[in-house]
Structure 1
Amino acid sequence: MNNKEVYAAIAMALHEHLGNNVHDVEPGIITIAQHPTQWNGYAQTMTAHP
């Protein structure tokens, strides 16, 4: 391995480490919205027996 390859590997590692390898910028916000289905419907729930 010659010096040019070492310098190229270091440059690529720094490039990726600094976050330049992402395709799109995400805001970091997760939105969880309730989605009614047959699995979480009120009529489908079971009541506990005393």
Structure 2
Amino acid sequence: MSDPDSSFGTERAFFLKKLRLSMLIPGIIVFLMWLVKICELLFELDLARL
């Protein structure tokens, strides 16, 4: 018979991987927004009107 703890572990690992991947794209978007804001401040640009 299969061990219920091992199936719980694999299911938990699957959902943790899914959670990390679902946070990747929004994290990249936020990072790019910060990068643009820092460039605006450093170079005194106004990129809001683009």
TM-score (norm 1): 0.43
Structure showing greater radius of gyration is 1
TM-score (norm 2): 0.43
